[in-house]
Structure 1
Amino acid sequence: MSIPVGDAEKHAIEKIENVDEGENPHDRTDPVEAKKVLRKIDYRLLPVLMALYTTTFLDRVNIGNARLWNMERDLGMKGYQYNIAVLVFYIPLVLFEVPSNMLLSRLKPRYYISGLCMGWGLTITFMGFAQSYAGLVAARILIGVFEAGMLPGCIYLLGAWYRRHELVTRVSWLFVSNDIAGTISGLLGAGLGSLDGKAGYSGWQWIFFIEGAMTCLVAVVSFLFLLPFPEQSTFLPAEEKEWLMKRLSADDRRRSGEKIGVRGALKALSDWKVLCTGWLYLSVTVAAYAISIFQPTILSAFGWSDVKSNLLSAPVRIASGIFSVSVGIWSDKVGRRGPFCVSGFTVAIVGNLLVMLVTKSGVRYFGIYVAAIGTYICQPLVLAWGMNQVVGETKRGVTSAFGAGFGSAGGIVASLVFPKKDAPRYYPGIGTCIAFSFSGIIASCCMWVFCAWENRAKEQGKRDHLRRLPEDEQAKLGERHPDFRYTL
């Protein structure tokens, strides 16, 4: 994959391209040479993270496909029990994502992230042997414990390798994994479910057996190839690594090797920008999880067969993936996040209104496309935007973890607002998605307006008195430093 390098920084950090110019004949002042180095990183890092996150999302939503292949009947499930089985997965995600990044800052990613992947892969595999509803719920909780560290860990690792205005493009590619998983999930749900009765196992069991084994294989691959943090990496030549570390430090005054401690994490959680990132991601994930988990159920309410519902869920994710990456690249090129977030949430609202209010199945299906495109445009943007607004390993790690963790509560909300009794219109569930998208517009405007106001104050010299502080005190200012500019 060839990913353009963002160049929207319009203040002092752009000067890093000329650091030590003339000292080394192999320096990266040439933009073409700079792109070559970044593409080396892209080709080594992104495919592994995408494979990991594909299995993450595939394994958390495959219960939606399993439901269509006699899972509830075989396990004697009734009423809201399916919704509860979906819900309990998200509780450990909310609780453990910040502590997980604290661990990751102290461990090698290949050991920690690969170990998590192997843990939930084995759990998914053995979940196929569940004999009761209680066994299914216990397995879902354990999967949530292992998966809690995956998304914040991937975002944290990306943030360690790229500058702020190169990040959303890479996060967009990471979230293409959602679309790959959504596409594969529908196809696998139709294919593996058709094995119903083979070797005495139901279709839902085959879904868990095969997809769990695939996850274990990805865990082995990630152990072999996943990159460490840049300061620990050896795959780049010495002069390229030196150039990379200097440009990263100049971008946001980061200090390499910083570990996330409890005191630093608590302090970061008191920052309104970190809290706003969590709410923004929650506003996205309510609709995102509804689309991922309940889309086959909603499509079957159109009167379509289970196989057709599974298959027609795939093109929706392909379309949303194309738009997500395209908008991510555009956002990095212009160095802006707010206008794209507001537009994405607005498009999602329009799509959900079509699904909720129109009676024709074809138009409602088109509405799902529109809702998915708007939702998945916002998903990488809001997490990258939050990390753009903070300085330091601790704040970046906490921002990605808190955003992902608080956003996981969207899965809890989505799992409760789509009961079968509301079919075929699902007014409460779709209305909830619309309400959260509207709250996302409000939160985006708050982030946008405040940060624009603060940037203007710095440009007018109203924060220049901080330059009189001792150098060690200036280093602790983070985003309050007069040279730092928020991303709008």
Structure 2
Amino acid sequence: MVAWGVVMTLMGIVQSYHGLLIARIFLGVTEAGLFPGVAYYITMWYARHEAQFRQALFFSAASVAGAFSGLLAYGIAHMDGVGNLAGWRWIFILEGILTVIVAIIAYFVLFDYPETASFLTEEERAFVVYRLKYQGHKDEVDGGMRVAQNDTFQWKFVKAAFLDWQIWTDIWVYWGLGYTSSTAQLLTVPIYITASVLAIVVAYYSDRVGKRYPFILTCLCIMGIGFIMCIAGGSVPGVVYAGVFIAACALYPAFPGNITWLSNNLAGSTKRATGQAIQIAVGNLAGAMASNFYRAEDAPRYILGHALELGFIGAGILALLVMVFNYKRINAKRERQLAEGAHNGYTPEELGELGDRAITFKYFL
């Protein structure tokens, strides 16, 4: 965040287009780790059935902040001429300085892990660490054996993340959601706030019920309805706007749900961190493609753009169903193996090293 804030501040003093472009590249480099970093950080403090509510709070706060950033930029732009600098330069300088200040404060108020949190008592730290260490695996198998996930860093866990089918399948679900981000430019502040509130409400109930896929699937279907309205509405602004409104209100609850769902099913902190980074990095390529979906020559109906959005939503639904089918199949197989005593051939440490591949691990639906 410090590096990101410094780069943003320096963007306010560039003197050429090429300088601005290079600075923007470095802004992307320094900013890239924030979202996956926060998503991973939440999993280091909260159990599987608590994480989506916290992810939704972060996602919604960032979205609402983005909605009001235009108003902030409008106000700062009136500083045009102050210090012999153009108003747009002050937008970068002031927001960059604020980012650096917040980052420095965060260093002192945010604790890396529960083990180092001084605001917790020794007993509370032990409790938080214990519940996170043993989550995901069957509470207790024959003989009273308990399996703890292996949180040490090993390159084999990084490799396991790159080779895991669920991460690459989930990316298609992400793309089914991510493409709707191209409609964000059409949203007004009230719609941002409405969608953000819905994200928090849905996340609360998803955590309470202990299910992810029904909520994500429902949201994808509603998004599909929204884009069908955009296509059918043609050049009628009210219908198109209503379609965008519906799609946005479905996207916001589904996005943190999808991020949380994958993290719920990756055991071991190294594999989880790597998997979430892959998911968000590759998933965000959707934005690069979506920016070319809505061509100027397709105005005002943008049939091609809306149809491509709808196609990726359909692909996301299909990928989600594939994941649910496989999760249920694997869970049922592992239940049979446990009943047959197949786990007796492993030590708790060996099962812990297998992570979500262990027969004691149950995938979160």
Equivalent of 1:351, from 196, 211, 226?
226
Which residue pairs with 1:475 in the alignment? 352
CA distance in 1, matches of 2:70, 2:304: 25
Among all aligned residue pairs of Structure 1 and Structure 2, give the percentage whose two residues are the same amino acid.
Answer: 32
Q: Is the 8 A contact 2:351 2:360 kept in 1?
A: no
Q: Is the 8 A contact 1:279 1:406 kept in 2?
A: no
Amino acid at match of 1:337: R
Is 2:184 aligned against 1:184?
Answer: no
Which residue pairs with 1:45 in the alignment? none
Q: Is the 8 A contact 2:150 2:355 kept in 1?
A: no
Q: Is the 8 A contact 1:168 1:384 kept in 2?
A: yes
Indicate the larger mover: 352-361 or 214-223: 352-361
Is 2:133 aligned against 1:249?
Answer: yes
Change (3 A) 1:431 1:476: same
CA distance in 1, matches of 2:255, 2:133: 27
1:147-162 matched pairs, under 5 angstroms: 147-162=31-46
Partner SS, residue 363 of structure 2:
coil
Partner SS, residue 368 of structure 1:
helix
Q: Mind listing any 5+ residue stretches in structure 1 that lack a counterpart?
A: 1-116, 300-311
Which residue pairs with 2:152 in the alignment? 258
1:60-71 matched pairs, under 5 angstroms: none
CA distance in 2, matches of 1:162, 1:234: 17
CA distance in 2, matches of 1:402, 1:144: 16
Is 2:18 aligned against 1:143?
Answer: no
Change (3 A) 1:408 1:235: same
Q: Is the 8 A contact 2:6 2:96 kept in 1?
A: yes
Indicate the larger mover: 422-431 or 245-254: 422-431
Is 2:222 aligned against 1:330?
Answer: no
Which residue pairs with 1:268 in the alignment? 161
Change (3 A) 1:435 1:199: farther
Equivalent of 2:180, from 277, 281, 287?
287
Which residue pairs with 2:98 in the alignment? 214
CA distance in 1, matches of 2:78, 2:224: 35
Equivalent of 1:436, from 298, 312, 316?
312
Aligned-residue Cα RMSD (Å) equals 2.3
Amino acid at match of 1:323: L
Structure 2 length-normalised TM: 0.88
Partner SS, residue 418 of structure 1:
coil
Partner SS, residue 50 of structure 2:
helix
Alpha-carbon distance, 1:337 to partner: 0.9
CA distance in 2, matches of 1:422, 1:193: 33
Q: Is the 8 A contact 1:180 1:317 kept in 2?
A: yes
Which residue pairs with 1:314 in the alignment? 189
CA distance in 2, matches of 1:396, 1:466: 26
Q: Mind listing any 5+ residue stretches in structure 2 that lack a counterpart?
A: 137-146
CA distance in 1, matches of 2:360, 2:294: 48
1:447-466 matched pairs, under 5 angstroms: 447-461=323-337, 464-466=340-342
Alpha-carbon distance, 1:438 to partner: 1.6
Q: Is the 8 A contact 2:149 2:355 kept in 1?
A: no
Which residue pairs with 1:418 in the alignment? 294
1:404-435, CA deviations, whole angstroms, 9 ceiling, x for partnerless residues?
Answer: 11112122112333344444333333333222
Is 2:252 aligned against 1:360?
Answer: no
CA distance in 2, matches of 1:195, 1:425: 38
CA distance in 2, matches of 1:262, 1:473: 16
CA distance in 2, matches of 1:410, 1:396: 22
Which residue pairs with 2:120 in the alignment? 236
CA distance in 2, matches of 1:256, 1:141: 36
Alpha-carbon distance, 1:145 to partner: 0.7
Change (3 A) 1:236 1:256: farther
1:70-89 matched pairs, under 5 angstroms: none
Q: Is the 8 A contact 1:187 1:314 kept in 2?
A: no
Alpha-carbon distance, 1:445 to partner: 0.8
Q: Is the 8 A contact 2:134 2:149 kept in 1?
A: no
Change (3 A) 1:367 1:343: same
Is 2:13 aligned against 1:121?
Answer: no
Is 2:270 aligned against 1:394?
Answer: yes
